[in-house]
Structure 1
Amino acid sequence: MYQILRKIAFWGVKPKKKYSHLYKKYFLMFRFKELILSPEEKITFKLHLTYSVIEGIILGVLALNEFVFVKSLKGSDFQLSILIQISAVVLVFTIFFNEYLKKVRNKKKLLQIVAIITRLPLILLIFFPHTEAETIANSYYHWAFLVIFLIYFFAQPIIYPTINLFLKNIFSQDNFGKLYSISTSINKIVMMVVTFLYGLLLDYDHYSFIYVFPIIGVLGIVSVYLLSLIKYEDTEYLEVHLNIFESIKKSFKDMRNIIRNNVPYKHFEWAFMYYGFAFLGTVSIITIFYESELHLNYSSVAFYRNSYNIIAILTLPFFGRLLGKIDPRRFGVITFCSILLYLLCLLLTYYFPVHFELLGLKLYLFMLLFVIFHGIFAATMSLLWNIGSSYFCKNEEAANYHAIHLTLTGYRSLLAPFLGIVFYHWLGYVGAFLIGIGLVAVAISIMIWSEKKYKV
C-alpha cells in the first residue's frame, strides 16, 4: 500500500536518495513538540484541536444519520435523497454569506449567534415518537426531521469559510497542512469511537436518537464558541455599504473573475464538479444498499464506517505533509482514484456477496476492500475539500476561494442526490454505480491534464 501511494504521489518526480528516508516518516504521526510554532500558532492549534474533538463527537452521531432515517424513522428513498441534499444544498448560499462576512467586524460574535440559532432546534427531537407504529402513522415527523437538519446545516456556509480564514491567517504555509491533519486525525479517532458506541446503542434501542440529538445540539454550540476564541483581526474592511442586490451582483462578479482568471483553480473546480455528482449521487444509494441489499444492522454499518476511519487516521499524517509538497491537483488524483475503487468494490459485493458473521457483524469479502479505499478517500478528501482551494490563492483570499468551492458544492447538490435516486430506480445498483465510476474517471482526467498544462 505504501509503495502504491508513493508511486501515485510522486509520478514524474525524480527520486533523490537523501530524501528517501522521509517517505517512511510520512506514515508516522506527527509529534507536536517537533513542530516549530509561534505562540499564536500554538494557541490556535489547541483551540482548533478542542473544536475538532467536540465536532468528532457530533460527526460520530451524524455518521449514522441517513441509516437512522431509513431504518428507524422508515423514511422513503425520495426523503432520504432530500436529507442528503440539504446537507450540501445550503452551501449554495456560501458566496452570499461570504460577502456579508466581509462586512462583519465582529466575526466571533456572529459565529456564536449562528451556533445558537442552528444547533438549538436539535433539542426538539426529544419530542419524536419512540415506537415504529407511531412513526409510520405520522409522516410529518419525517418532514420535521428534515427541517431541523436543514436549519442545522445552514451554519456551514458561515462556519467553514471562517475556519479557513482564521487558520490560514495564523498558520504558516509549511505548518498549515501538518497541523490541520493532526486535528483531523484526532477528530476521526473521536468520531470512530462515538460511531461504534452509538451503533451499539441504536441496536439496543432503535429510537435512542431522540435522547442523543439534544445533547449534540448543546455540544455544537460549545464547539463553535471555542472556535470563535481564535484570534483574528480584519486586514481589510469594506466601507461602502451595498444593498442586498448589489452584494449578490458583486458576489457573482467576484466569483466569475476568480474562476476566469485563475485557470488552475477553474480546472480544480471542474474536476470537483464531476466528482461531486458521482459522490452525492451514490451516497444515498449506498445507504439503501446497506439496508435493502446487504441487510446490515446498526453495529455492522458502524463497523464499516469505523474501519475506514482507522485507515484514514493512520494515513492522514502522510497526506497532510504530501498536500504541502505536491500540486493539489495531483493530490486530487489520489482522492478520486480511491472513490472510483470503492465504488467498484460495491459492484463486486453486489455480484459476489460472499460474507460471514462474527460477533453479530455481517462481513462481506469485497466490503473489506471497500473499507481500505474508503479510508484513503476519507483521509485525502478531508484535506482536499477543506483546505485544497487555499493552495491556489494568497492568504487573505482563502475565505473567498473556499466560499466559491462550497457554493459550487451547493449547486451540484441541487440535482445530484435526486438524480442518483432516479438512476437507481431506473437502472438499479449496477447502473447507478457505473455512472458514478464514469464521472469520477472524467474528474481524474481533468486533474491530470490540468497539472501537465498549467502550473500553480
Structure 2
Amino acid sequence: MLGLHDLPDSVRRNLARELMYSVSAGLLWGLALLSQVVVVRSLGGQAVHVTVIVAAMPACSIFQPLWAAWARYIRLQHMALISGTSRTLPFLLLGWAQDAWTFTALVLAYYLLAGPITLAVPALYKYTYPDTHRGRIVGLLRLVQNSVTVPAMLLAAWLMDRDADLYRVIYPISGVLGLVGLYFYQRLEIPGDRPQDRARYSELPTPRNIWEVLRRDELFRMFQATIFLTGAGFLMSRPIWIYMLDHVFSLSQLHMTLLVQVLPVLLGAVTAPWWGTLIDRTSPVAGRVVFAWMGIFAYLALFLSFWQKWLILAWTGAILRGMVLGASEVAQTTGNLYFALRRERAALYESISSVFQGTRGLLMPLIGLVIFHWTGVYIFLVPTILNLWSLYLAWRLWQLEEPLRNQLKSNLTPCPGPDLRYSSFPGTGASQSTQDQGL
C-alpha cells in the first residue's frame, strides 16, 4: 500500500529494526506523559509538581543546539545510543521514589537525558531513508510509536487506579524494555554518519549562526513561522480546552481523556502514513497547508461548542485536530530535513526547529491563560486567526519553493544518494558551494 517494496534490501532492514525501536520509544513516551497524572494520584503531588513536569519537555528542547554541536564530534547513531541508555536510568530509579519532588526530579532528568536522542533519531532519517519514500516511512514510524503510546498510558493508568504504588514496578519495567529497543537501533546500517562532515558542511549552532541561517534561508524561516503560529494557537488553547470541557459539560475524567488525549493521538497515528504519501508526492509544505486549513475549522468547532454548549462540536473539533495531527508531525520532521538540503545540516536544522518549539511551549500556555481571563470562550478565536495566518504563509511558501520542489523531484532516486553539493535555489540561503558553509 505504501509502495515500500521497491526499496533496497538494506533500507528495508533498517526500517524493520527502527519499527522495533519505535515500539519501545512509544512505551517510554506514553509513561512520560502519564507522569503528570501519576505524581498527583500516586504521590499526592500539587499543581507545582505538574507544572514542572509539563514545562520540562519544552524547556529541555531549548538545549538542542548543544546536542547539534556535539554531533560535530560524535556519530549521531552513537549519540542516540548514549542518550537512549541514559534516559532509561530515571525510569529505573522511579521505583524508589517515595515523594512527589523526587518523582518530579527524576522525570525532569528523563527529559534532559532524552534530549540528544530526540535530535539524533529524526536527523538520521536524512541518512537512512531516501527522499522518494521518507514521508511514508516517517508516517509509518509515527503510526507504530503512537499506537503503543496510547494503550501504554491507558493500561498503566488502569493498573495504578487499582494500586497506586504500582508505579514502582511499571516504570522500571518500561526502562528495561527501552533498553531492548536500543538493541534494534544499534543494528541500523547508517551510511555516511561522519561527524567530520558535519563539522565541515554545517555551521556551529551558536545564537549568531542560528540567526544567520534564518536570515539567509527565507524558505526555512517561513516554514518555521507556519509551525510556530499553529503551535502557538494549540498551546494557548489546550489548557483552556481541558478546563472548559469540565466547566461547561462536566465530563468524566475518562471522557475527557478520550476526547483530549486518546482520540487525537490515535487519529494522528492512523492517518500519518497517508499524510506521508501526500508529502512524498508533493512536499512537506503541502502538509502545512492542509494542517492550517483544517485547523481553522477545528478551532471554530471548539469555539462554537462552548459558546452554544453543543458537545457534538467538541467531538468534531477533536476529530479534525486528530486527522491533521499526523500531517503536522510528518510535515515538521520531513520539512526540517527537506530544507536542510544536505544531510550534514540535518541536525542543525532540527535543533533550530526545537528552539522554537521549546520557546512556544514555555510561553504560550501562560499567554493563553492571560487572554482567557480577558476574553473567556472567545480565546478559541485566537488560534483560529493564527491558523488562518499560517495558511496564508504556507500557501505563499508553496509558491516560493516551487523551483526547489521541482529540482529535487527531478533528482530523486529510490535509494539514498549523494548529497547536493551545489545549489541555486532562491531563498534557501545555500551558497554556490557547500564547502563555503563550514566554519
TM-aligned CA distance change 1:440 to 1:372, over 3 Å: same
User: What is the letter of the counterpart of residue 255 of structure 2?
Assistant: S
CA contact (8 A) 2:43 2:100 kept: yes
How many residue pairs get matched?
A: 400
Structure 1 distance, partners of 2:157, 2:256, is 8
Alignment partner, residue 30 of structure 1: 2
Which residue is 2:408 aligned to?
Answer: none
**Distance 1:191-1:264 versus aligned 2 partners, 3 A rule:** same
Superposed counterparts of 1:216-365, under 5 Å:
216-234=174-192, 236-238=194-196, 251-290=206-245, 294-304=249-259, 305-354=261-310, 364-365=311-312
1:370 maps onto 2:326 in alignment = no
Provide the C-alpha distance between the structure 1 equivalents of 2:168 and 2:248, rounded to a whole number of angstroms: 27
The separation in 2 between residues aligned to 1:349 and 1:327, in whole angstroms, is 34
Q: How does 1:40-439 map to 2 (within 5 A)?
A: 40-69=10-39, 79-105=49-75, 107-128=76-97, 141-205=99-163, 208-234=166-192, 236-238=194-196, 251-290=206-245, 294-304=249-259, 305-354=261-310, 364-396=311-343, 397-424=345-372, 426-427=373-374, 430-439=377-386
CA displacement at 1:338 relative to structure 2: 3.5
| Cα 1:274/1:156, change in 2 over 3 Å | farther
Contact in 1 for aligned 2:63/2:115 (Cα 8 Å): yes
* Inter-CA distance 261–382: structure 2 relative to 1 (3 Å threshold): same
Q: How many Å apart are 1:42 and its aligned residue? A: 1.3
Q: Is the 8 A contact 1:200 1:298 kept in 2?
A: no
- Secondary structure of the residue aligned to 1:53 is helix
Unaligned runs of 5+ in 1: 1-28, 130-140, 242-246, 355-363
Distance 1:434 1:179 in 2: 35
TM-score (norm 2): 0.79
SS in 1 for 2:128: coil
Give me the whole-angstrom Cα distance separating, in 1, the residues matched to 2:326 and 2:112. Answer: 25
Name the structure 2 match of 1:25: none
The unaligned stretches of length 5 or more in structure 2 are 405-439
**Identity over aligned pairs, percent:** 20
CA distance in 1, matches of 2:176, 2:385: 42
Rounded Cα–Cα distance in structure 2 between residues aligned with 1:62 and 1:277: 22
Q: Could you tell me how far 1:44 is from its partner in structure 2?
A: 0.9
Map Cα deviations across residues 142-167 of structure 1 (whole Å, 9 max, x no partner): 44343222221124431133112322
Question: How far, CA to CA, are the matches of 1:55 and 1:91 in structure 2?
Answer: 17
Q: Deviations over 1:162-187 (max 9, x none)?
A: 11232221211112112222222222
Q: What's the offset of the Cα at 1:352?
A: 4.1
| Partner-residue secondary structure (3-state), 1:154 | helix
Specify the code of the residue in structure 2 equivalent to 1:403.
S
Are the structure 2 counterparts of residues 77 and 429 from structure 1 closer, same or farther at C-alpha, using a change threshold of 3 Å?
farther
CA distance in 2, matches of 1:240, 1:406: 18
Report how far residue 214 of structure 1 moved.
Answer: 2.5
Residues 203, 287 of structure 1: alpha-carbon distance in 2 compared, 3 angstrom cutoff = farther
Q: Using the TM superposition, name which of 80-89 and 396-405 deviates more.
A: 80-89
